[in-house]
Structure 1
Amino acid sequence: MNAHSQDETPGVPARRAALRMLDAVLRRGEPLDQAAPPILRAIERGDDRALATAIAQEALRWLADLDALIDGATRQVLPDDAKARSVLRIMLAQALRLELPPHAVIATGLPLLMGGPRRLAHGVFSALLKSGQRLPDAPTLPDAVRARWDAAWPGRVDAIAAGLAVPPPLDLTLKDASRTAEWAERLGGSSLMPGHVRLARAGAVEALAGFGEGAWWVQDLAASVPARLLGAGEGRRVLDLCAAPGGKTMQLAAAGWKVTALDKSARRLERLTANLTRVGLEAEVIAADAMQWRPEEIYDAVLLDAPCSATGTCRRHPDVLLRQPPFGELAELQRNLLERAAGALKPGGTLVYAVCAMEPAEGERQADWVRALRPDPIRVDELPEGIAPTAEGWFRSDPGMLAGAGGIDGFFAARWVKGAG
């Protein structure tokens, strides 16, 4: 047990964990999903761990707007890294976003400022709530992000921001797409395309029907599109580059492909292997750097879900918008990986390139750069209902799409065929 948690008000350890996660992201620049596990390890109850994560995520999602409220209620602006500012962020996130009772927020928040300006925090929090202050309908995007996306997607930025206002629903990919209607009914969800079920987020994923028998895995609808673009495997061989944690590997194996799954992270491949075991699917798993690895054979298809800025996942990972990714380095790596992927492909074989990024430099410009392969335009019937291919025959989604159905992550995918010559 964490030393702080002894003799504390119930709920304080969860808020302390949220505060530590906020600090890890904002001061040390760590991704939230990397910072969270060691911080949450000391919290015994699963619901307390979930609450701590939700508080941190909402504070990050609405960071600029929470800071604007705080600055409007203080005579002197608190430094960005002041502990009192961070405590107020998580207190306001609980009251305004998670709708927790103000007395509970105060009772579990002020102890985090032991020896600090508790009276200031109490006064600011109470004054904001008493005056009826609210957050806007959509979170304010960081200035650099808004500028990039305004230039890339004219007229789309407000819709994208609106798509970030609430955490996304839970998307499942089914092992057997023919049972879509059955699983949608059994789980009380809806489906936006065959092999997909969407649920409201509630409780532990492991407790849902079908988890133990390996009937499905968690995968955002957009992330499921690239593997779908390769169709049925019918025993042919496919190379899944940068494969961990394995969602696309499982899709390909379930579609009848003989899969070679390659990733340079042995730790992430352990998770991929565990996922394969749970759902009862098989793949050849190789731990290697795709830029160094030499395949012993060439493949009927290659799927490259390339390392990227991950800005398209900002609905579920709001912290990605608070970091400045090394776009130049990523673009160079993506091009090099595309060349490697094309070299591993048989004549007549199919290559799919994908990134979970909102940046054209990582998606559209990379696809436009590919000249050695013949474009194979994506068809509207291969995409979720409500999303059409681009004029170039590419797949592009953003968090402002499918708003009435729960939204979708930002993603890009393109497809080519290798000539026989």
Structure 2
Amino acid sequence: MAAKPGFAARKAAADILGNVVHKRHAIDAELDLQSGHSGFRSLPNNDRGLVRAIVGASLRHRGEINEILARLLDRKIPEKTGRVVDILHIAIAQMLFLEVPDRAAVDLAVDHAGADRRARPYKGLVNGVLRRLGRERANVTAELDAIRLNTPDWLYESWVESFDAATARAIAEAHQGEAGIDLSFKEWSDENAKTWAEKLGGTIVAGGSIRLNEKSAVDQLEGYSDGIWWVQDAAATLPARLLGDIAGKKVADLCAAPGGKTLQLAAAGANVTAVDISKSRLKRVSENLARLKLQADVVTADLKTWEPTEPFDAILLDAPCSATGTIRRHPDLPWIKQAYDIGKLSEIQSELLERALSWLKPGGTLVYCTCSLQPEEGVAQIDALLKNRQDVEILPVKAEEIGGLDTSITPQGFLRTLPFHPATADGSLIGLDGFFAARLRKF
């Protein structure tokens, strides 16, 4: 018997969700059209969009759904029951957070359980739990603290300790919404920005990026094929701006992929060397350079062993990190990262920061940045560095360098954007990726 319409999409969604939360696979890898989940890749475009929406909602509301299931179940579902729990999660995500009729979500979930050899004995449980949710939705979901539930304890508590309780909650609340799409322009001016904002239907945000008012397929938008712009979160553009006037200077972009900062530096007239350990990710950097008709020396290398032939005038080190500042666009991160990952990453960051400084000319500028909210990966790195070295000083960030976003400058002069921070100087638009950046000068 042929599967019902939508069955393949739900099966792919449950498989992908399971791979993310049980095997710690990155969602981007699972959804990659060249190497990702085979069931997802075989779907038509519309169904792929549905899978993305279902998995995204399931991850963004994972803690909430876990609590709802605890209220609906008399006892915990045993292990080795196939995809039962994942099937329930994607069904509940559809029923509560997506515009999918209850009947469709329930029927397809029951069919899925029946088609899974290990889940088949729990087909009746799946049916009963979901139908009860449909009947008792108001009671089952009453008095849920969704904002708190949807952030793992270790992560939420780290933000309370690093910032304060109100800030931690504001961060977690911001993660309940999806990030917008921001565009950076090769040739920027006030007039050009206004023109393209009108053409594309967007708003000018921090530092001159344009945030689209509605999500759409970016490669179909005007200006893409002509190399006018590229996609890059507004906050991600700020660290490169801190290098100042780099026209004609020799500049390194370390840990360069996916390449937005490389494009910024090249567009600003620098002689750029872009280094990253991932050959496949650097391929995308080279493709974007070609599309935008920009030049850079692209190098595949491990920074732990690589050595440049001569020192640089300026260096941008976007160090490997936990990426907890990007949870709005990567809702898998809270569920695939663990507290111990931060310590391992911090050691790598410290090593790379020392090596990068050794490649900088005296009098040169280095910007260290991470898209992390964790202090171990930001301010703690700089504090430790300054204790051990007398030949480095902080060059404080000024509001006019980052589009007037004074709320994103710390008392020490570091850049610190948070997901709920204003994206415009007047506060009319909210939402940025979480970034830390420190600007250093070497004597």
TM-score normalised by the chain length of structure 1: 0.93
SS of corresponding position for 1:262: strand
Q: Distance in 1 between matches of 2:238 and 2:283?
A: 24
Q: Distance in 2 between matches of 1:289 and 1:42?
A: 31
Judged with a 3 Å threshold, the aligned counterparts in structure 2 of structure 1 residues 42 and 31 are, in CA distance, closer, same or farther, namely: closer
- 4+ aligned runs moved over 6 Å, structure 1: none
- Which residue among 138, 159, 176 is the counterpart of 2:170? 159
1:11 aligns with 2:16: no
Q: Is the 8 A contact 2:9 2:40 kept in 1?
A: no
The Cα shift of 1:149 comes to 1.1
Judged with a 3 Å threshold, the aligned counterparts in structure 2 of structure 1 residues 194 and 355 are, in CA distance, closer, same or farther, namely: closer
Q: How does 1:24-35 map to 2 (within 5 A)?
A: 24-35=19-30
Aligned to 1:131: 136
Aligned to 1:177: 188
SS of corresponding position for 2:367: strand
SS of corresponding position for 2:440: strand
Q: Is the 8 A contact 2:207 2:402 kept in 1?
A: no
1:147 maps to amino acid: E
Judged with a 3 Å threshold, the aligned counterparts in structure 2 of structure 1 residues 301 and 44 are, in CA distance, closer, same or farther, namely: same
Residues 67-118 of structure 1, C-alpha deviations (whole Å, 9 max, x = no match):
1111101222224775222111101111211222222222332221113423
Q: Is the 8 A contact 1:139 1:165 kept in 2?
A: no
Aligned to 2:125: 120
Judged with a 3 Å threshold, the aligned counterparts in structure 2 of structure 1 residues 147 and 139 are, in CA distance, closer, same or farther, namely: closer
Q: Is the 8 A contact 1:73 1:128 kept in 2?
A: yes
Unaligned 5+ runs, structure 2: 115-119
Q: Distance in 2 between matches of 1:416 and 1:238?
A: 14
1:55 aligns with 2:79: no
2:123 maps to amino acid: R
1:362 aligns with 2:386: no
Q: Is the 8 A contact 1:398 1:411 kept in 2?
A: yes
Aligned to 1:3: none
Aligned to 1:104: 104
1:119 maps to amino acid: G
When you count helix as a share of all residues, which structure comes out higher?
A: 2
Judged with a 3 Å threshold, the aligned counterparts in structure 2 of structure 1 residues 93 and 201 are, in CA distance, closer, same or farther, namely: farther
The Cα shift of 1:402 comes to 2.6
Unaligned 5+ runs, structure 1: 1-5
Q: Distance in 2 between matches of 1:385 and 1:233?
A: 21
Residues 364-413 of structure 1, C-alpha deviations (whole Å, 9 max, x = no match):
11112233312110001122444331000001112222386241111100
SS of corresponding position for 2:106: helix
1:337 aligns with 2:337: no
- Which residue among 359, 383, 386 is the counterpart of 2:402? 383
Identity across matched positions, percent: 40
The Cα shift of 1:130 comes to 2.3
Q: Is the 8 A contact 1:13 1:43 kept in 2?
A: no
Judged with a 3 Å threshold, the aligned counterparts in structure 2 of structure 1 residues 139 and 104 are, in CA distance, closer, same or farther, namely: farther
Q: Distance in 1 between matches of 2:179 and 2:121?
A: 36
Q: Distance in 1 between matches of 2:342 and 2:249?
A: 35
- Which residue among 392, 395, 401 is the counterpart of 1:373? 392
- Which residue among 262, 284, 300 is the counterpart of 1:249? 262
Q: Is the 8 A contact 1:62 1:139 kept in 2?
A: no
Q: Is the 8 A contact 2:255 2:320 kept in 1?
A: yes
Q: Which moved more, 1:319-328 or 1:221-230?
A: 319-328
1:405 aligns with 2:410: no
Q: Which moved more, 1:395-404 or 1:241-250?
A: 395-404
Q: Distance in 2 between matches of 1:138 and 1:398?
A: 16
Q: Distance in 1 between matches of 2:146 and 2:43?
A: 35
Q: Which moved more, 1:170-179 or 1:353-362?
A: 170-179
The Cα shift of 1:328 comes to 2.1
1:68 aligns with 2:79: no
Q: Distance in 1 between matches of 2:80 and 2:401?
A: 47
Aligned to 2:220: 207
Q: Which moved more, 1:96-105 or 1:144-153?
A: 96-105
Q: Distance in 2 between matches of 1:232 and 1:81?
A: 59
SS of corresponding position for 2:420: coil
